[in-house]
Structure 1
Amino acid sequence: MIVIRDVQDRFHGFLSSVMLEVAPNIFVSPRMNPGVRERVWQVMTDWYGNLPQGSAVMIWRDVNAVGGVGLAHLGDPPRELFEADGMWLVRRRVSSTQKAP
C-alpha cells in the first residue's frame, strides 16, 4: 500500500499505472513482489529528490520487521514502528537537530 499527500501529479499517474487506487491517494497491490515494490519505490524516491513536495508512505508485509510491517517514507514527518510492553506503536522519528518531546 502507498499513500500520497500533496505530491506532484506525476506520482499519482505513475502509481495509477501499477497499482489500484482504492480511495483518493491510497494505492494497493496485494500481490506485488519485492522486486517490483523496490523498483516502484526507487522511481518515487528519484522523483521526490527532484520535486521535494508533499509526502508518501509505503507499507508492506515484512515478517522480519516490528509488527510484521515494513515502512518507507518520503517527506516529513518520518515515522517508525516500535514495540513497547507487547504493543506496536508508531512514533515520529527525531532527527539529530530536533529535541525529543
Structure 2
Amino acid sequence: MIISNRENIVGKEIKKELGLVRGNTIRARNVARDITQALRNLVGGELKAYTELMAEAREEAIDRMEKEAEKLGADAIVNVRFMTSMVASGGAEILAYGTAVELQKK
C-alpha cells in the first residue's frame, strides 16, 4: 500500500477513486508519565514520553486507515492528513484520513 500526502503518486496513474478512508485512536496520559513530564516541563526541553505516545498513536491511526483502504481494494491512499484534538482531560484523538485509490496497472 502506497501512502502519500500528495494528490498523486509520481510515476503512477490513478484509475479510480474509492472514497474517503480514515483511522483514529484516542490515547490518554498516565500518572507516572505525567509526573516525570511535569518535572521536565519545569526545566525545559522535549517531553520525550509524550512525543513517543503521539508517535505511537499516529502509527496506529495510519494502520487503521490502511486496513479500511484495503477493504475497499485500494492500491494507495493519497492526500493523507492528520488531525489532533482533545477529547477529555488528559486524552487526545489522532485522526488520519485520505482518499483511497486504485492505480492503473501497467
Structure 1 and Structure 2 fold alike (TM over 0.5)? no
Length-normalised TM-score, structure 1: 0.28
Greater percentage in helix? 2
Greater percentage in strand? 2
Q: Which has the higher contact order (CA 8 A, sep 6+)?
A: 2
Length-normalised TM-score, structure 2: 0.28
Find the structure with the greater CA-based Rg: 2
